[in-house]
Chain A
Amino acid sequence: MSEPVLEIRDLRKSFNALKATDGVSLDLKPGQIHALIGPNGAGKSTLIHQIAGTLRADSGTIRFLGRDIGGLDMAARAQLGLARSFQISSLAQEFSALRNVMLAVQAKKGSSFRFFRQVAGDKSLIEPAMAMLERVGLAARAHVPAAELSHGERRQLEIAIALALSPKAFLFDEPMAGMGPEGSKQLTRFLDGLRHEAPMLLVEHDMDAVFALADRVSVLVYGRIVATGTVDEIRSDPEVRRAYLGEAA
């Protein structure tokens, strides 16, 4: 078995009496899409925030590419190659879609402490950024400010930004949220092709997407992982059916 890219051990985070993350351990292996499912309030986003560095864990370790990243801030983790999307789109609203992606290209290429060369004519930023927009099918909307994009387009833009970082792992927090059935299907196909670029930890409520994509599924309930396995194992696990899938499964 190959070494996990992302290795989480006994992670804990409490908000007062609420144990949002209660001893979570999880491995993300190369070439895999690892889905994280669970009912609302199970602590999925809190977990993503701790991995990305928005929140600091109370205890436990997060190792990324063999390195303990628990002490690093979000920017440093992103520089190591951890690209995330947000549950609620988080973009530079006044910038065009293109400039949002150019920012990621600029971050990837190195220093942002360049004060004179103008980005507006900088092909080394524009061309890779445009290529990413084309990949997610947003090229025609490249010059539209992020604030004026539709909800679905913003979700696509988040993905394009993550791609532009050419990361070592993706953290996607409900990328399908709020998308129509057609949009979800398209995005599912798209994400399917990404697993060979970098493994993906995917939080998603859309069960069709999860069952179509995931190599492994972990079920989070009240901050604990109650089951981990392949899609088939999870589907047939009686405890999971009771706790989460309910009648629907």
Chain B
Amino acid sequence: MNRESAVNLLLALLLIGVPLIAAGMGEPFYVTLATRVVVLALAAAGLNLALGLGGLLSFGHVAFFGLGGYVAGILATHAFNAEPLFAGIPGTTFMPLIWLVAVAVAGLVALPIGAISLRTTGVYFIMITLAFAQMIYYFAISWPAYGGEDGLSIYVRNAFPGVNTAKPLPYFLVCLAVLMATLLLFRLVEGSRFGSALQAARQNGTRLAAVGIPPFKIRLAAFTLSAMITGLAGALYADLNRFVGPSMLSWQMSGELIVLIILGGKGRLFGPVAGAMIFVCLEYVLGGITERWQFFLGLILLVIVLFARGGLLGLLSGKARHV
């Protein structure tokens, strides 16, 4: 086992161990905090596919996060009120179905957004993805049917077969299982032919085209897959807070996802996990001391960008390995 795998294992144990101990000690708050880590890590893991492997700095991934959240909120609301969505299709509180719809919606929206945005590069790509996210943000604000600016409450957390999701620990375990499955998928994709092409597209798009693989198609597929994962995280996040509102679509949230990845280690399997841990800990510990905790987050980010480009994982496990 190399050093990075050891660090990853340690992080995974920490992520499982802390909430188990907290639950044992009758401290459900910390379980909820850990769930927040897991869900943010999942959202960032999605972005990590586009940003870390593909070098696509999407500043609009919050759009898919928010869409996933609204899918969960809207389906749950319709089920709760026993009103059909449209054409007699009922809502649902069945989590696996909600996830499926969230993933599908995120993917379907990401496809055209990616197809347009990926014709640009660099700062234009950042701006155009941001613009799309802002469009969806204002759309959500101005749609009174689903709460507009006030958002939408999920009165009872949606259901997962065989699990009492209303309790913090079972819901944490559901989210953790989803995260671990996603990280496994990330690892597989990274080492696959598609992953090779995607990483080559980041390093040198011209080289990729010169061997006959169109970089645009590879990037579009990665962007869409990445959005689907972030959309799934959105659905889990809405259920965690039992609320979805326009704040889940705000551009600050997009920035936070990028910050998570940079804190943890761009392109690394457990980078989003490490990043989410640091972020939530700072938010909780420093946030308890001062309202201005993000000032300190900024300082830490500055130090990492200047002195530890590989993020926390780079610091702990050294240079990234490449076959």
Taking beta carbons and an 8 Å cutoff, which residues of A are in contact with B? Answer: 52-54, 73-76, 78-79, 83-84, 86, 90-96, 98-100, 102-104, 106-108, 111-120, 122, 125, 143, 145, 161, 164-165
Contacts and interface: CB of A to CB of B under 8 A. Distances in A.
Chain A facing B: main interface SS: mixed
Contact of B212 (A92, A108, A120): A108
A107 B323 contact: no
A118 B188 contact: yes
A148 B218 CA distance: 27
Contacts of A113: 193-194, 221
A112 B193 contact: yes
A170 B214 CA distance: 19
Given A92-B208, A108-B212, 6 more contacts: A95-B200, A96-B322, A108-B211, A114-B194, A115-B192, A119-B196
B189 interface: yes
B52 to A, nearest CB: 13
B94 to A, nearest CB: 27
6 contacts: A53-B209, A114-B193, A115-B188, A117-B193, A119-B195, A164-B211
B203 A119 contact: no
B300 interface: no
A93 to B, nearest CB: 6
B322 A114 contact: no
B213 interface: yes
A107 B213 contact: yes
B164 interface: no
Nearest to B192: A115
Contact of B323 (A53, A86, A99, A116): A99
Given A73-B214, A78-B209, A94-B322, A118 B203 contact: no
Contacts of A165: 211-212
Contacts of B197: 103, 106, 112
Lowest 3 CB-CB distances: which A-B pairs, in order?
Answer: A78-B212, A79-B212, A75-B214
Contact of B189 (A75, A91, A103, A115): A115
Contact of B207 (A53, A90, A116): A90
B32 interface: no
Nearest to A101: B211
Contact of B192 (A96, A98, A116): A116
A75 B191 contact: no
Interface string B199-241: 1100110111111111100100100000000000000000000
Contacts of A53: 209
A74 B210 contact: yes
A103 B200 contact: yes
A130 to B, nearest CB: 13
Contacts of A122: 193
A86 B206 CA distance: 10
Contact of A115 (B194, B215, B322): B194
A197 B77 CA distance: 67
B204 A161 contact: no
Contacts of B214: 73, 75-76
B193 A92 contact: no
Contacts of B195: 115, 119
Contacts of B209: 53, 73-75, 78
Contact of A103 (B188, B191, B196, B322): B196
Contacts of A98: 323
A119 to B, nearest CB: 5
A102 to B, nearest CB: 7
Nearest to B203: A92
A40 B214 CA distance: 31
B188 A116 contact: yes
B218 A95 contact: no
Contacts of A119: 191-193, 195-196, 323
A94 B206 contact: no
Contacts of B206: 54, 74, 86, 90
B203 A93 contact: yes
Given A84-B210, A103-B208, A145 B322 contact: yes
| Residue of B203, B211, B215 contacting most chain A CB atoms (<10 Å) | B211
Contacts of B204: 90-93
Nearest to A171: B210
Interface string B165-191: 000000000000000000000001101
Contacts of B221: 113
Contacts of A99: 196, 322-323
B223 to A, nearest CB: 14
A141 to B, nearest CB: 14
Contacts of A94: 199, 203, 322
